[in-house]
Structure 1
Amino acid sequence: MAASSRICIVSPGDALGARVAAATRRQAEVLGDRHEVTLIEDPEPSEAISSFSFASEDHRRSAAVLEAIEAAYQPDRPPHYLEVCDFRAPGLVALQARAAGHELLRGTTIGVRATASAELLALYDGSPELGGEERAAELEREQLRLADRLLWPGGDVLDRYQRHYADLALPPAVRAGCPPPPPEPARALPPAPPAGPLRILCLGALNRRSGVIDLVEACLALPEDEWELTLVGADTETAPLGQSMQMTIEMICGGDPRVRIIEPAADEELHARFGEHDLLAVPSIFEVCSHLALEAMRAGLPVLTTPVGAHVEAVEPGVSGWLCEDVGAAAIGRALTPLVGDPEAVARVRSSKGLAEVVRRAADPKAMLDAYDEMLGEAHAPTSSRAAVQPTQVTAVVPYYRAHLYVAEAVGSLLAQTHTELDVVLVDDGSFAPEDGVLDELAADPRVRVVHQRNRGDTIARNLGITLAEGDYLLMFDADNVLEPEFVARALELLQTDPELAYVTCWLRYIDPGGEALNGGGYAPLGNRVLSSEEENWDGDTAALTSRRWLERLRFPFHPRATIHSDWDLYRRLREVGGYGAVIPEPLARYRIQPQSILRSHDRALHRRSWAEMRSWRRLERAG
């Protein structure tokens, strides 16, 4: 048995339904028999980040997860293993933080449990392009890319994930099993009536992926009339063309009294529902694990299921239920026909003692513990100290125009970096007022070089600074912002560790002209690998450390015609040549919001127009 480990499990809460949340709690209880387990449920973002701008609420929640992990552990006792679900990427910020050298997570193995990603759920419900699911899918993919392990429960789940994410290098897979269902009820199911129709129960939301329409059509096409179907679940608008599933089913049934739809049952009513029926049908088109199916079998109700999800491993034909040969109405009908014709066969299984034993074997806590022990034994690594940054010159490029009130603070923050091999090229973009004499004062420091050009805009000034810079790594910075002392060293470590990285940026904290924090919070970028959207910039701010060799792959670093979005355009052009950025998810830079700043002085229409022009120029460049 592996040594006891500190395990942190992040619950999906009720986002995937109360049963998935309950299964996560049972998983934590099982692992707690051998390990020190911390369960994080429904963390709320702190006031410090609640006002930040995030790419989505999923992105914000993942930041709250990192805060909860930081609150639960001490630096001298970090988690050995962290597990999150794939649904809506709750572990994304924690994974970004670990990649950026977070002291608490540096030695932590991070696994993603397959519970059903939002991308897959939307796909099987017929709405991959509706309701903002594209962004959730992109966050989920980045979480999978950064993770160390993919945990799957069994059945066809891994094969389905590998086929769907064939374009993504999934992390190594670990078969971890399903958590056991709740304890078996104290009372047995009442015996089935000696005669009468086969009473079929289907539980769960009425959605497309559940296959409920296939089940209804299969029942209506049965050659025998001796059946009843009860659907217990909330309606959804996932029928074709976004229509109500309940209304669609009612239209298909045409008032057939054998089919009834009732409101979802409370948990305390669930056993009563089991007792009123002979068979639970699970006709899913897509499923990871039907916890309801395991509960039904544990209670003594046999299951008819399509060959989808991990729960099928608990279905032994004629012992605990029956397995359809495929999904769809035809396959379900073929499986139902002999059962409707011979209800006594169903009654024999229903009254047998074998169902609970089959579930016990399929969801064996010891098997889950052994799987985690093996994984932790392979992946467990001691927390390492931060890698030493190799000596290298960094040049900060700072365009200047009428920023005399702030430039000394900006340059001072650059010269105060913990990475001391740093010089500054200040490019005066035609600002020659008396107060701009502050540049001469700054040039007295041998680490600061001031050059002048006529007023041509900050993009031309940045390109001139890059041409004059001597460092292998270039820090882009604005003359009115402030950089925290450790940014360059942290970013340089990432770039030296992964030479394929093109740039490293960080979160920003907004400040007012006087340097005080603004209620508007800050900006939490994602890097240029994650989102495909051309509507908003989540690639990063200008404040970034960039590898010179990546900039040299471009015709010019900053587009000379750019006005508002030169940084975003740079990151998009880097992406086109395979250069991706990483984010340190900490506010290591302070962004000063001026009354005349781009954020305040340009309306949304002008922003959209500017970015549309940048996209057009990129297309023209690609066309030659």
Structure 2
Amino acid sequence: MSDKSPLVSVVIPCYNYGKYVEEAIDSCLQSTLTDLEIIVVNDGSTDPDTIEFLAQLDKPKTLVIHQENKGLPAARNVGIRQSLGKYILPLDADDKIDPSLLEKEVDILESDPHLGFVTSWMKSFGDSQVVWRFPAYNFYKLLFCNMVANSSLFRKEAWEQVDGYNEQMKRGYEDWDFWISLGEKGWRGNTIPEALLLWRKHSRSMISESVRIHDHLVEQIIQNHPSLYTPEKKLELRQIWLPTEKPNAGRLSGKPSSAVKTAPSSLPAMHAAPAKPQSKKEKKNRTSPAPEKKQSVVQRKPSSTPRSKLSRSMEGKTHTQTKKSFSKPLLFI
């Protein structure tokens, strides 16, 4: 690796993903931005093929760190501490990036010193092909909805200010917790409306475990940021970030909020926005008369919002909906 400090450090924790990590590394080496280093953290892998691959890994601009298994957030922190870049991109070992991701996200951070991180839309590959279109960054909504891709470029300076990823979040949602920590310190985010992160969808993933213990992880996030979830602070932040919405907008309840109604229609079915109640005129227009004989058409009442999981609200009093609650990306409303 060069003695000159790179502009970007890509940190890739790897636990038993030797069959995927080379693709992740190569996607970074194919970036249009070449002023980078890649740090792979072998987080105590036990898979023989992964151990052998990482022991023999010899790629340009790439360093491998070996450690005992400490979990994903700790592995990221270890890699970031060893990094030399001004900007950090955390990348999962089974994912890839578009060649233009680093250049586009760096340009935005360079142009605005008040931005702490830049995210983008995400496209899955492997078992499914879906484009995830995240809304514009909003810190108030981030408290209840993770609208930031796990692999988003951030300033190392910002990471230092929040003491890195919370290493207690070993079982998931460590990225959501981290973005909240940055916002708590006053750092803002920005979203590029392009699918620049390539997320591998396959059966073997932390997501399943995170979904299973979703309520526990949400409570853990609240405990990590208690001052943000008081009624007074939430009201203050809502007035700052949602100044034009009605006082009850964005409340955590079983009813669809404005954020849900404007959810992108391109999300997969289980992430779709709730069906909007139709007027009598709309219902009538939907019923097309038969060409020859009359047919009875049954108008069904629009179903309630699809729910994949009911969890306690961040207030700990009411219940709210999640649309496939998970950390890449978690949509919790």
TM-score by length of 1: 0.34
Matches within 5 A, 1:357-506: 393-436=7-50, 437-442=52-57, 444-506=58-120
For 1:306-325, list aligned pairs within 5 A.
Answer: none
> 2:228 and 2:114 mapped to 1: Cα distance?
23
8 Å contact kept, 1:505–1:583: yes
| Higher radius of gyration, 1 or 2 | 1
One-letter code of the match for 1:613? Q
| Partner residue in 1 for 2:280 | none
8 A Cα contact 1:527 1:580, kept in partner:
no
**Structure 1 577/602 Cα, relative in aligned 2: closer, same or farther at 3 Å?**
closer
Measure, in 2, the Cα distance between the counterparts of 1:537 and 1:598: 16
Alignment counterpart, residue 541 of structure 1, candidates 136, 139, 149: 149
Aligned to 2:174, which of 566, 571, 585?
566
Matching of residue 526 in structure 1 with residue 135 in structure 2: yes
Secondary structure at 2:213's aligned position in 1? Answer: helix
Displacement after TM superposition at 1:545 (Å): 0.9
The CA distance in 2 between the partners of 1:572 and 1:601, in whole Å, is 21
Query: Distance between the aligned counterparts of 1:507 and 1:481, measured in 2?
Result: 14
Counterpart Cα distance in 2 of 1:596 and 1:607: 18
Structure 1 position 534, deviation (Å): 3.8
Secondary structure, in 3 states, of the residue corresponding to 2:19?
coil
Hey, what's the Cα distance between the residues in 2 that align with 1:602 and 1:544? 20
Percent identity among equivalent residues?
28
| Structure 2: tracts of 5 or more residues without a match | 230-333
Are 1:585 and 2:193 an aligned pair?
A: yes
Give, in angstroms, the shift of residue 608 of structure 1.
2.5
Q: Does 1:507 align with 2:121?
A: yes
**Quick one: structure 1 residues 533 and 490, their matched pair in 2 at CA, closer, same or farther if it must change by over 3 Å?**
closer
Aligned residue runs from structure 1 range 350-361, under 5 A: none
**Cα distance between partner residues in 1 of 2:117 and 2:144:** 21
Once the two structures are superposed, the pairs formed by residues 262-301 of structure 1 within 5 Å of their partners are none
Does the residue aligned with 1:397 lie in a helix, a strand or coil?
strand
1:507 and 1:621, CA in 2 relative to 1: closer, same or farther beyond 3 A? Answer: closer
- Distance (Å, rounded) in 2 between the aligned partners of 1:621 and 1:441: 46
What is the CA-CA distance between 1:589 and the residue it aligns to?
1.2
Matches within 5 A, 1:28-427: 393-427=7-41
Give the superposition deviation at 1:526: 3.3
Verify the 8 A CA contact 1:505 1:543 in the aligned structure 2: yes
Amino acid at match of 2:86: D
- Equivalenced residue count is 224
Map Cα deviations across residues 529-562 of structure 1 (whole Å, 9 max, x no partner): 3543644311x122111111111211x2100101
Q: Write the letter of the residue equivalent to 1:566.
A: E
Match of 1:557 among 158, 164, 169: 164
Deviation sequence 1:242-272 (CA, Å, 0-9, x none): xxxxxxxxxxxxxxxxxxxxxxxxxxxxxxx
Aligned CA distance change for structure 1 residues 530 and 583 (closer, same or farther; 3 Å): same
CA distance change for structure 1 residues 445 and 544 in 2, over 3 Å: closer, same or farther? same
Equivalent position of 2:214 in the other structure: 607
CA distance in 2, matches of 1:415, 1:607: 35
The CA deviation at 1:433 is: 2.9
Deviation at 1:401, TM superposition (A): 0.3
Partner of 1:45: none
Task: Quote the Cα distance in structure 1 between the aligned partners of 2:227 and 2:44.
Answer: 30
* Higher-helix-fraction structure: 1
Compared CA separation, residues 602 and 496, structure 1 to 2 (3 A): closer
Structure 1 residues 559, 621: closer, same or farther in 2, change over 3 A? farther
Alpha-carbon shift at residue 441 of structure 1 (Å): 3.7
Deviation at residue 392 of structure 1 after TM alignment: 5.4
What SS does the corresponding residue of 1:543 show, helix, strand or coil?
coil
Q: C-alpha separation between the residues in 1 aligned to 2:66 and 2:183?
A: 31
1:453 Cα deviation (Å)? 1.1
Between the aligned partners of 1:618 and 1:409, the Cα distance in structure 2 is: 36
Please give the alpha-carbon distance, in whole angstroms, between the structure 1 residues aligned to 2:43 and 2:72: 7
Once the two structures are TM-superposed, the CA of residue 528 in structure 1 deviates from its matched residue by: 4.6
**One-letter amino acid of the structure 2 residue matched with residue 478 of structure 1:** D
**Cα distance between partner residues in 2 of 1:618 and 1:483:** 31
Note closer, same or farther for the CA distance 1:409–1:601 as it changes in structure 2 (3 Å cut).
same
Q: Which amino acid aligns with 1:406?
A: Y
- Deviation (angstroms), 1:446: 4.0
What does the per-residue CA deviation read over 1:125-181, in whole Å, with 9 as the maximum and x for residues that have no partner? xxxxxxxxxxxxxxxxxxxxxxxxxxxxxxxxxxxxxxxxxxxxxxxxxxxxxxxxx
Change (3 A) 1:417 1:432: same
Query: What's the Cα RMSD here?
Result: 2.3
Deviation of residue 595 (structure 1)?
1.0
Superposition TM-score, scaled by structure 2 size: 0.63
Structure 1 residue identity aligned to 2:105 = A
Equivalent residue letter for 1:465? G
Change (3 A) 1:601 1:422: same
- Tell me the amino acid that sits aligned with residue 397 of structure 1: V
Q: Which amino acid aligns with 1:592?
A: R
Paired with 1:609 and 1:526, the residues of 2 have a C-alpha distance of 26
Structure 2 counterpart SS, 1:532 = helix
* Mapped partners of 1:512, 1:446: distance in 2: 27
Distance in 1 (CA, whole Å) between partners of 2:160 and 2:137 is 18
Aligned-partner SS, 1:560: coil
Distance 1:531 1:523, change over 3 A: farther
Please say if residues 528 and 575 of structure 1, whose CA atoms lie closer than 8 Å, have aligned partners that are also in contact. no
Give the structure, 1 or 2, with the largest relative contact order (CA under 8 Å, sep 6 or more). 2
